[in-house]
Every structure is written in C-alpha cells, then in structure tokens.
Amino acid sequence: MNIAKIGVIGAGLMGNGIAHTALLSGFDVTLIDAFEAALPKAVATMTKNMDRQVTKGTITAAAKDEALKRLVTSTDLSRLQGADLIIEAVPEREELKEQIYRQIAPVLSADTLLASNTSSLSITKLAAMSGRPDKFIGMHFFNPVPMMKLVEIIRGIATSDATFAAVQAVAEKLGKTVAAAQDSPGFIVNRILCPMINEAIFTLQEGTGTVTAIDAGLKLGANHPMGPLELADFIGLDTLLAIMRVLHEGLGEDKYRPCPLLVKYVNAGWLGRKSGRGFYDYSVNPPRPAK
C-alpha cells in the first residue's frame, strides 16, 4: 500500500511531534484537534522546532518551508477524508478514543489504516472499538518525536500482515527504528521503564535517598541520561500513573502497584514539567528538588 497522506488526531505534544516528523519525511499531513486554539499553537511550535533544526544544519530553510506548505489544520474530522493512514494521538482514555473512532468511521475509505499512539492500552480492545480491527495497529512514538529514534509497532489479535507491513514501511520512512511488540500491557519500553521509575518513587517515599541522590545514582551509576525522577517529571506524573494502573490491572502483580507518593502528587496537581512542579520545582532555573 502506498501511503502518501497522513492524518494526525490531537495537536498536543505527541501529535505535534508526529506531524512535524511526517512533514519533513515528505508526507502530506492533516492535523486535527477539537480545540481551535490548539492549532495555531501547534503550527508555531513546529515552526520554532524546525527553525532550530535549520540553525543546527539538520534541515535546510527550503525543506522547512516546503514541509509546512503540506500541512493542513482543522477542527473538522471530515477533513481526514482521503488520508491513507490516520494516527490517533489523544489522551489515554478509552472512552475518548472510542468516541473519535466512531466519529471518523464515515470518512474512512475501505483501505484507510488507523493507528493509535497509545503508550499502554490494549491494541486488540481499541481495534475492536474502531470497527476495522484488521486495519488497526499500535504505533507508539516517544517524546520528543522528532529526536527519538524508536517507534513501537503493536499488532492486535486481528491486525493483518498487510497493515503491519505498511505501517512498518511508514515508520522507516520517518527515520525510525521499529521495535515490534506483542499486545501486552505497557508493550516493551513502558513495561520495563515505568516500574523502574515507580520503584525510584518508592525509594524516595521510604527515605532511602533524596531526589538529588536518586537521580545522581542512576545517571552516574547506571549511565542513564536522565535520573528517574527527572524523567518522571518529563513524561508527566499523570501519564506515569495511568500506565502503572494499566500494568497493575492487566498483569495483576503487586510489583506494578503505583507508589502512593505518585498518587499523592497527581492528586495535588503536581504533574511535572507541564504543571511547573513535580519532583522538581520548575519556577526556578535550573530546577531544584521541590521537597
């Protein structure tokens, strides 16, 4: 299947990055968001990030201009008509995703492929909700999308070989390395990464180490580029909690139980960088441990 036109639903951090990468890879992109105000903000972010790439010499100014000319933005889901592949990148709520799949069903052709950027939800379940399970697949990108080289591709139980092959080819054209994963809670990366971060939060809660000591320990002792608590703030503590709950419910083992301190921070609205406070206080530069 020749995929030339990509639709992206959700103009937030992930959807913006997916659209950015697809444009620079030669695809025509239609970016949809329910909120009109989100669209010019998304274009401004893409433009700023592409300008940074021009300054670094990774793309040319002409490539940036040509890419942005192939971008269409809208709040109208019917503008997705004619897309060969639609990537849904909305928040991790099953009911929201199901509502979107129902709304876009009338505009999809028989051949349109549908992918979800979910980081942990069951692809098989989402595929059933979509009404086109053979043409549904998981396509999990990592933040920031233009820089991160990995994409997990996850087949549902009914995903066809043709769908997998077509989406794998798209991922490779985007310049990504593909990690094929089975449809299991958390897939590969989050199944390993999020429990490690959760354990770091338990370590903080129990007073074994401070925020600074825990992050320095993993950066210097395990050669991680970011400490686990710094990474938690970068991911978003609400996102981390949602993934841990999926792992705990789906796998049923106590080792996946979300740390109570993580739950407390999310309840307080301390979500990390995006809220200005998490394990670090981002109102100062450089950020300092919040407690």
Query: Which amino acids are annotated catalytic?
Result: 119, 140, 152, 190
CA distance 136 to 126: 8
How many CB atoms within 10 Å of residue 249? Answer: 10
* Preceding peptide of 258 cis, ω within 30°: no
Q: Is 53 helix (H, G, I), strand (E, B) or coil?
A: helix
Helical pair 189-205 and 228-235, crossing angle rounded to 10 deg:
120
CA distance 84 to 249: 34
Q: Which residue from 272, 289, 201 is spatially nearest to 233, judged by alpha carbons?
A: 272
